[in-house]
Amino acid sequence: MHQIWTWVFEPGFFSSAPVHVAVVTGGVAAIVSAVTGVFTVMRGQSFAGHALGDVSAAGGSGALLVGLNPLLGFVGLGIFGAGVMDMIGVRRVRGRDLATGIVLGAAIGLSALFLYLDTATGATSGAPQQILFGSIFSITSGTIPVVVIFSLISLASIALAWRPLLLATVSPDIAAARGVRVRVVGLLYMLALAVSVGLSSLAVGAILSTALLIGPAAIALRVTRTAGRALATACLTGIGTTWLGILLAYDSYYWGAGHQGLPVSFFIVALIFAGYLLSGLPAARIAAGRRETASHAAASPARDQIAA
């Protein structure tokens, strides 16, 4: 018994301070990303989420350059980028797509500049790896309060916008006709999105933040039928994959003779991807009642043909 325990949790896992910080920040980032991600997937704004990750990268690398905590850069520039995207994004889907692409391009250019300067000045030679792909074990414990404050801002925005956001996601026309200020609701959501992307950039890196945002949400939407359950499933999936990823990365140090630990981000993203594949299996969808039962199948034959 004890052997299995130490085989699963290699020595020092529970007493390691970096692991504690990683478990807390990773868990919080996973929850916030999962909650925001459910709406991101429902609204078809994955591309915007990815673009905000790149904007965050520019913010994080810029923050390192001036000696600030990268999290402030991630979130700060993320919110600014979200505002710019909304401003030039107009209401049309194609306009939104275009605005997102323009902002994304500019952000990657800035990241290239800042990361070059970060490494050229020599002070932070690991900047590209840290900003783009994350280094959750190197987060300082002083960052935790900031992480908690940001996560509360993000969750509060979603909770506040909940009903009108759902309505506007179903149909902006219906929402507007009922007096919902669709633009305001959209901005609240973009604020939550920018903050959560910043948090997941800290956990798994700016480039991979999309995986933590979209993955658990997409899995949840495949296997649930109500918004509440989708949220709960996404949160559990996000936390599960993040913590398991942290554990595997920690253990990976002991796997080879070379004692070369593998990156956390890889494990988290790989687990999410595996989860997504599993959730697509017919058994998973039928068990969750997402697929129609025989009594209803006659009414939507086209859908069943597609599914088959």
In whole angstroms, the minimum distance from the beta carbon of 302 to other proteins comes to 9
**How far is Cα 144 from Cα 122, in angstroms, rounded to an integer?**
27
Q: Which is nearer to other proteins, 262 or 288 (by Cβ)? A: 288
> In the bound complex, what is the minimum distance in angstroms from residue 107's beta carbon to other proteins?
29
For other proteins, the binding residues (CB under 8 A) are 38, 41-42, 159-164, 166-167, 169-171, 173-180, 220-222, 224-227, 229-230, 290, 292, 296, 299-300, 303
Is 39 or 114 the residue whose CB approaches other proteins more closely? 39
Tell me the closest approach of the beta carbon of residue 308 to other proteins, in angstroms. Answer: 14
- For 33, 235, 304, 305, the CA distances from 192, given in Å and listed in that order, are 9, 15, 36, 38
Nearest distance in Å: CB 187, other proteins: 13
Among 146, 130, 129, smallest CA distance to 28 is for 146
CB 211 within 8 A of CB 269: yes
Q: Residue 133 in contact with residue 201, Cβ under 8 Å?
A: no
Compare residues 109 and 282 and give the one whose CB is closer to other proteins: 282
* Cα separation, 132 vs 144, whole angstroms: 20
- CA-closest candidate to residue 213, choices 191, 195, 196: 196
Q: Which is nearer to other proteins, 19 or 155 (CB)?
A: 155
User: Looking at beta carbons only, is 126 or 173 nearer to other proteins?
Assistant: 173
**DSSP secondary structure of 111-170:** HHHHHHHHHHSSTTTTHHIIIII--GGG--GGGHHHHHHHHHHHHHHHHHHHHHHHHHHH
Q: How far is the CB of 229 from other proteins (least distance, A)?
A: 7
